[in-house]
Amino acid sequence: MGRNGARAALFGCLVVVASSLSPVTLSAAIAAGDARHGETIFLRYCQGCHGPDGRGGGKGFMPHVGPLARKGYIETMPDGYLAAVITEGGLAVGKSAYMPSWKTTLTEQDIADVIAFIRTFVAE
């Protein structure tokens, strides 16, 4: 299987994973995401790679991680996709395998809160 075929297979897996995340519960949790709590979680678990403001360049990771705060990027990502990336890790969505899965560390509400927080990056 070529690289594009592997990515297509990974995307297919993402669809299956995302659909198994209890969409009603997850959607309700994301809608009720607490950006303040999400900031606390982000600063604890995510800033090492993504930087404290989502602009990338965190000191804990090389090569450089691109900015989440880039205009026209994070706001185009559906909440379910972001939840799948956080829950399952980068490899599950065809991104870097260095992005870990947080499903055993963070609750669905924690993930919803992180998503609410990273959504504030574009407002800055």
Which residue is it, tokens 């992180």?
114
Q: What is the tens place of the pLDDT at every residue in 75-113?
A: 899 999 999 999 999 999 988 888 999 999 999 999 999
Give residue 19's pLDDT. 45
Q: What is the tens place of the pLDDT at every residue in 7-56?
A: 444 444 444 444 444 444 455 545 679 999 999 999 999 998 888 899 88
Does the predicted model carry a pTM greater than 0.75? no
Q: Please report, for the chain, the start and end positions of each structural domain, with discontinuous segments joined by +.
A: 3-123
Give residue 73's pLDDT. 85
Instruction: Determine how many CB atoms are found less than 10 A away from the CB of residue 11.
Output: 13
Tell the CATH topology of 3-123: Cytochrome Bc1 Complex; Chain D, domain 2 (1.10.760)
Choose among 90, 76, 85: nearest CA to 114.
85
